[in-house]
Amino acid sequence: MTLNSTSATEDLADVERVLAGEPAAFAGIVRRWQTPLVNMAWRYCRDRGRAEELAQEAFIRAWRGLAQWRRESSFSTWLFALAANVFRSELKRFPAVNLPLEAAPEPSGPACQHHMLAEKSSQDVVRRAVLALPLRYREPVILFYFHEMDLAAAAQTMRLPEGTLKARLSRARSLLRRRFPQLEDEQEALEFSATTPERRPNIEARRN
C-alpha cells in the first residue's frame, strides 16, 4: 500500500469515527495534514505566524463541515479546496504585502561549480518568483503545481471555468518567462521547483 493510499484510508476511518461521535479522532487528520496546510497557507501570505493561523482556521472549517465531504474526491482534495477558499477569503479581508516580481533575484548561471547546487538555487528562485506573482496568477500555480490538483479540481476550488484557469496558468508562465528569459522551459521549472526528487518521476509520467 502506498503512502497516499494509506493516508486516504486513515482519513476515511478518522472521518467516520468523528461523524460517529468520536471527536478525538479528528486529531489524526490534523496530525497528517497540519504541515501541508501551513506550507500551503505560507505560499498565499508569506508569513509563518499568519500561515499557522490560517491553517488552524481551515481545520476549524473542516471540523464544522466534515459531513459535507461527499467522497466524490479524496478527503485531501476536499480539505485543500476548503483551505484554499479560507485562505483566499482571509487575504481579501487582510491582504498580504506583495513583493514586486521585478524584485525576485536572478537564477544562478550555468557556470556554477556544483550543478546540483545550481539546480537547487534555481528552484528556490522560481519558488520565490511564484510567490511574487499577483494572487490571481499565484493561486492557480500553487494549486496546480505545488499541490498537484488537476485542472478540474483547481478550477472548482477557485470557482472558475477550466478555460479561465488555463488562461491564468498561461499568463503566470508568461510573467515568469518575461522576468527570467534564461529559463528555457518555465513550465518544467515550475514543476520541478514544486516537487521533491522522489516525486519527480510522477511528473515525467504525467508528461508522457
For residues 126 and 87, the model is more confident at: 87
Q: Which pTM value belongs to this model?
A: 0.63
Q: Are residues 157 and 111 in the same domain?
A: yes
pLDDT tens profile 25-80: 999 999 999 999 998 898 888 788 989 999 999 999 999 999 999 888 889 889 99
Q: Are residues 166 and 80 in the same domain?
A: no
CATH of the domain at 23: 1.10.1740.10
Q: Are residues 56 and 150 in the same domain?
A: no
Q: Check residue 3 and give its pLDDT.
A: 46
Give the residue numbers spanning the domain of 188: 101-207
Q: Are residues 105 and 175 in the same domain?
A: yes
Q: Are residues 116 and 55 in the same domain?
A: no
Q: Are residues 68 and 17 in the same domain?
A: yes
CA 73 from centroid of its chain's CA atoms: 17
For residues 120 and 16, the model is more confident at: 16
Q: Check residue 164 and give its pLDDT.
A: 94
Q: Are residues 29 and 79 in the same domain?
A: yes
* DSSP result, 72-91: SS-HHHHHHHHHHHHHHHHH
Q: Are residues 70 and 16 in the same domain?
A: yes
Q: Which residue is it, cell 499557522?
A: 52
Grid coordinates representing 52 are 499557522
Domain end point (choices 93, 109, 124): 93
Q: Are residues 109 and 192 in the same domain?
A: yes
Structure confidence at residue 125 as a pLDDT band (50, 70, 90): low
HEC string of 120-132 equals HHHHHHHHHHHHH
pLDDT tens profile 66-121: 999 988 888 988 999 899 989 988 877 755 555 454 444 443 344 333 333 344 44
pLDDT tens profile 135-181: 888 888 888 877 767 888 888 888 889 999 999 999 988 888 887 66
Check if the beta carbon of residue 76 is closer than 8 Å to that of residue 62. no
Structure confidence at residue 6 as a pLDDT band (50, 70, 90): confident
pLDDT tens profile 127-137: 777 877 888 88
Domain end point (choices 35, 68, 93): 93
Domain end point (choices 93, 109, 127): 93
The domain total for the chain is 2
Residue 80: name the closest of 24, 11, 162 by CA.
Answer: 11
Q: Are residues 82 and 105 in the same domain?
A: no
Q: Check residue 67 and give its pLDDT.
A: 93
Q: Check residue 15 and give its pLDDT.
A: 96
Q: Are residues 52 and 78 in the same domain?
A: yes
Q: Check residue 187 and give its pLDDT.
A: 54
